[in-house]
Amino acid sequence: AQKVTQAQTEISVVEKEDVTLDCVYETRDTTYYLFWYKQPPSGELVFLIRRNSFDEQNEISGRYSWNFQKSTSSFNFTITASQVVDSAVYFCALTTAEADSGYSTLTFGKGTMLLVSP
């Protein structure tokens, strides 16, 4: 079975602060994919990033960066110089590529609500 844990239920920061959202995952599969999604107050789920288990290179996209560490089964997400528009619930998710082990589905963490105040 696979599991995603986002221990931080809610984080509040002031604009321009850096913030890191934690994600810890569990899977017995050697090939898997990790995702981050953003859910703003409007409700839609917006895809942010996908990373496979063989690529531990960190990624940066503008103010967003992701740190993937297989040794600690973590895939953390950092927002640099946060803005009010970053206020949202952020979900980490996991799916595996185990061949014909059944049908792989996306397992979500419970989400971290980020509140950025001006």
Partner 1 sequence: DSGVTQTPKHLITATGQRVTLRCSPRSGDLSVYWYQQSLDQGLQFLIQYYNGEERAKGNILERFSAQQFPDLHSELNLSSLELGDSALYFCASSAWRRTDTQYFGPGTRLTVL
7 binds partner 1 (CB under 8 A): no
37 binds partner 1 (CB under 8 A): yes
28 binds partner 1 (CB under 8 A): no
CA gap 75, 56 in Å, rounded: 10
At closest approach, how far in Å is the CB of 110 from partner 1?
5
CA gap 40, 36 in Å, rounded: 13
The partner residues of 117 in beta bridges, in order of sequence, read 14
DSSP letter string over 13-63? EETT--EEE--EEE-S-SSEEEEEEEE-TT---EEEEEEETT----EEETT
At closest approach, how far in Å is the CB of 14 from partner 1?
27
Choice between 25 and 82, CB closer to partner 1: 25
Chain centre distance of CA 108: 9
* Interface pick for partner 1 out of 10, 47, 59, 84 (rule CB under 8 A): 47
Residues in 64-103 at the binding interface with partner 1, rule: CB under 8 A = 91, 95-97, 102-103
At closest approach, how far in Å is the CB of 20 from partner 1?
21
* Interface pick for partner 1 out of 50, 63, 72, 81 (rule CB under 8 A): 50
Rg of the chain over all Cα atoms, to the nearest angstrom: 14
